[in-house]
Amino acid sequence: MRGEDLQIDRGLQDQLDFTIGDALTALKKRQQADGHLIFDLEADATIPAEYIFLNHHLDEREPALEQKLARYIRSIQQEEGGWPLYHGGAPDISASVKAYLALKITGDSPDQPHMAKARAVIHRLGGAEKTNVFTRYALALFGEVPWRAVPVMPVELMLMPKWFPANMWRFSYWSRTVIAPLLILAALKPKAINPTNTHIPELFLTPPEDIRDWQQNPTGRWTGKMFLQLDKILRVVEPYFPKKTRQKAIAKAEAFFTERLNGEDGLGAIFPAMANSVMAMEALGYPKDHPALVTAKKSIKLLVTEENDETFVQPCLSPIWDTSLSAHALLEAGEAPMGESAKGACDWLASKQILDVKGDWAEKAPDLRPGGWAFQYNNDHYPDVDDTAVVAMALHRTQNPAYKEAIDRAEEWIIGMQSTNGGWGAFDIDNDDHYLNHIPFADHGALLDPPTEDVSARCLSFLGQLGHDMSHPTVKRGIDYLKNLQEDDGSWYGRWGTNYVYGTWSVLSALNAVGVDMDADYVQKAVNWLKARQNDDGGWGESGDSYYEHMKHDAAPSTPSQTAWALLGLMAAGHVKDEATRKGIDFLLAHPRTKDGRWEEPWYNAVGFPRVFYLRYHGYSHFFPVWALSRYRNLTRSNDKSVQWGM
């Protein structure tokens, strides 16, 4: 398929030119004066609900905003009454309880039809007592459940040495930033002011005070049973921990999170950690005008977004991710590397590289120089290798010598962040003590940040674009890691994007970049899997259901972003002149678009934690289709039908 002469009719060429040009114009209109681009990042009902909880925990109400958030929560309620974790998903007990409580706090009567329907769904799912650990923490703060409803997480955990089987450095970055202030809350047990005196006893099938066995074994394994017994022991002995030791532990937890407060971008730059930090500072007695507390509250307000008269709260902001991926789309679509749009984006990205702060990742690599990028505007303690690889590839595509040092530092950092098994995690090295996912607290199954196929592929794509091939030891180890994790059907798992289409595109791009023979059997097995997953309308689609083993093969409606990933994967494998590719292109050309230039896509396209927390990147349905259509146009008009870039 590589090198074959491709002839596409004039009508298709005109369609490609018009659609790419129109979408590109709209994309460039989003660009900020300093060069960056940003789109909304949407989760489920839990984030706006928790924003309302925080206001009422502190008695710092915002009635007008809370009513807007309530309208949003009602707008995503399912017809049967519950709230899902992603568009089209099954009702989720924890999301539904949080949404119900938030609506009741903002004035919705339990007698209203939508509340009665929600209550019926919650009862059918087992009642509020069946919510997950993080929801039960929120309920404990409001006095809806006793503190024994949450697992024992003594603040003394902060004092554990690094060799100890359970210590903060064995957790992922997001876990560390969420847990440090949460440990303070669990130790001090502050009670929400709750000025409206709202309570939800009607959501429980059994009165909370009568429930004795709250904790569950999250994995069903013998290890989980062992940790359940440990939880019972800790519950008995914790009240007898020395007070001086407790105060020392609280002080250490406070020092940990205040060092990482991160200005107006907030602790870890993620909502749960930011909210916990505010509640912890209040519990510790910080005055209302304390600069750290004032700034932390402002960081949370910056997550509120209003677009098309719709108000919700983002789990975090995604400017570096959005800008770097948009830069690739701009360059693929023919924007001049030194032109205003591409150079503006790349100059802004280059300015955001973290070169002076050794973040938490340095615990495993103390001699490694910083050189990464974060996901958000600022998050110096927590750069991630996925953003770093994508940004550095965009800078490298421009061939602008001004970026050479930035690219070199990124290369050094990426190579230094490789884990022992040959893969890369998102934020840490060898963050893979899987036994910790068996503790009762870890019912979300994402306490850790082990290497994953998609992030590892991105790192290899970057190294391949720089010219490294299988002779490079880092690349060889990475390829071996990916080959070992290929699914039996030929696909690769997608940890951070939904799901196997995302993972398979990522790996195929990486294999092509490092010079793997794309006619190899295992590569073609992946190609055949992609073709087999194509829908009759020419597109590709996967839902959050695919993260459940028994539903991983279920069909799902085609989406523009996932279709673009599949097309980029096929083209990376050399399948440009292919009926499947052409049908995918036709799908994108025919798919409706919104007034702001994006392809219509209500479906969620990414994950925070599989099976627990899903994401909808509003930008994915803009820059990925532009990217795929532009690549198809470029390859069909070129004498060389091979993809020259890492992704």
| pLDDT tens-digit readout, 583-621 | 999 999 999 999 999 999 999 999 999 999 999 999 999
Q: What is the pLDDT of residue 269?
A: 98
Residue 2: pLDDT band with limits 50, 70, 90: very low
Instruction: Provide CB contacts within 8 A for 170, sequence distance 6+.
Output: 431, 433, 436, 448
Residue 449: pLDDT band with limits 50, 70, 90: very high
Same domain? 245 vs 292: yes
The secondary structure of 600-621 as a DSSP string is: P--S--EEEETTTEEEEETTHH
Arithmetic mean of pLDDT over the chain: 96
Same domain? 24 vs 73: no
Q: What is the pLDDT of residue 641?
A: 83
| Helix/strand/coil for 435 | helix
The pairing of strands 606-609 and 613-617 is antiparallel
The CA angle 108-109-112, to the nearest 5 degrees, is 100
234 DSSP assignment: H
* 59 Rama sector, left if φ>0, alpha if ψ -120 to 50, beta otherwise: left
Q: Exposed/middle/buried for 251, CB within 10 Å: 0-12, 13-18, 19+?
A: middle
pLDDT tens digits for 128-177? 999 999 999 999 999 999 999 999 999 999 999 999 999 999 999 999 99
Same domain? 22 vs 69: no
Q: What is the pLDDT of residue 308?
A: 60
Judge whether 550 lies within some domain.
yes
Judge whether 314 lies within some domain.
no
φ and ψ at 551, to 5 degrees? Answer: -125, 10
Judge whether 622 lies within some domain.
yes
What is the Cα gyration radius of the chain? 25
Q: How many CB atoms lie within 10 A of CB 458?
A: 28
**Confidence check: pLDDT of 436 > 90:** yes
**Confidence check: pLDDT of 3 > 50:** no
Same domain? 132 vs 175: yes
Same domain? 611 vs 636: yes
The CA angle 40-380-263, to the nearest 5 degrees, is 70
Nearest CA among 414, 393, 407, 403 for reference residue 327: 393
CATH (domain of 601) = 1.50.10.20
**Confidence check: pLDDT of 577 > 60:** yes
**Confidence check: pLDDT of 304 > 50:** yes
Among the candidates 256, 277, 302, a domain finishes at 302
Judge whether 401 lies within some domain.
no
| Helix/strand/coil for 559 | strand
What is the number of structural domains in the chain? Answer: 2
The CA angle 377-378-383, to the nearest 5 degrees, is 105
Same domain? 26 vs 167: no
* Parent domain of 264: 45-302
Q: How many CB atoms lie within 10 A of CB 594?
A: 14
Same domain? 54 vs 173: yes
Residue 379: how many CA atoms within 13 Å on its side-chain side?
Answer: 32
Tell me what percent of the residues of the chain surpass a pLDDT of 70. 98
pLDDT tens digits for 368-407? 999 999 999 999 999 999 999 999 999 999 999 999 999 9
| Helix/strand/coil for 439 | coil
Gap between the Cα atoms of 298 and 265, Å rounded: 9
| Helix/strand/coil for 225 | helix
pLDDT tens digits for 307-350? 666 799 999 999 999 999 999 999 999 999 999 999 999 999 99
Gap between the Cα atoms of 74 and 402, Å rounded: 50
- H or E segment and range at residue 41: strand 41-42
Estimate the share of the chain in helix, then strand, then coil, as percent rounded to the nearest 5: 55, 5, 40
Judge whether 49 lies within some domain.
yes
Same domain? 7 vs 83: no
Judge whether 369 lies within some domain.
no
Angle between helices 385-397 and 453-465 in degrees, nearest 10 = 30
Residue 6: pLDDT band with limits 50, 70, 90: low
3-state SS of 453-491? HHHHHHHHHHHHHCCCCCCCHHHHHHHHHHHHCCCCCCC
Nearest CA among 537, 526, 645, 542 for reference residue 575: 526
**Confidence check: pLDDT of 5 > 60:** no
Nearest CA among 75, 70, 78 for reference residue 52: 70
Residue 639: pLDDT band with limits 50, 70, 90: confident
Query: Known catalytic residue: 386?
Result: yes
Same domain? 8 vs 114: no
Among the candidates 302, 334, 349, a domain finishes at 302
The secondary structure of 276-339 as a DSSP string is: HHHHHHHHTT--TT-HHHHHHHHHHHTTEEEETTEEEE-SS--HHHHHHHHHHHHHHTT--TTS
Nearest CA among 635, 568, 565 for reference residue 601: 565
The pairing of strands 41-42 and 304-307 is unpaired
Q: What is the pLDDT of residue 7?
A: 61
Judge whether 311 lies within some domain.
no
Among the candidates 267, 302, 337, a domain finishes at 302
Map tokens 């309302």 to a residue.
52
- H or E segment and range at residue 230: helix 222-237
Residue 165: how many CA atoms within 13 Å on its side-chain side?
Answer: 7
638 DSSP assignment: S
Map tokens 């009762």 to a residue.
440
Same domain? 178 vs 88: yes
| Helix/strand/coil for 513 | helix
What the block records as the tokens of 185 is 């809350």
Q: How many CB atoms lie within 10 A of CB 528?
A: 12
Gap between the Cα atoms of 45 and 72, Å rounded: 8
Yes or no: say if 439 and 175 are a contact pair by the CB < 8 Å rule.
no
Same domain? 6 vs 136: no
Catalytic residue among 92, 322, 386, 454: 386
Same domain? 116 vs 201: yes
Map tokens 């001049």 to a residue.
336
Judge whether 140 lies within some domain.
yes
**Confidence check: pLDDT of 516 > 60:** yes
What the block records as the tokens of 468 is 């490294």
Gap between the Cα atoms of 54 and 33, Å rounded: 33
Yes or no: say if 339 and 350 are a contact pair by the CB < 8 Å rule.
no
Residue 1: pLDDT band with limits 50, 70, 90: very low
What the block records as the tokens of 38 is 């940003």
Gap between the Cα atoms of 364 and 417, Å rounded: 9
Q: What is the pLDDT of residue 310?
A: 74
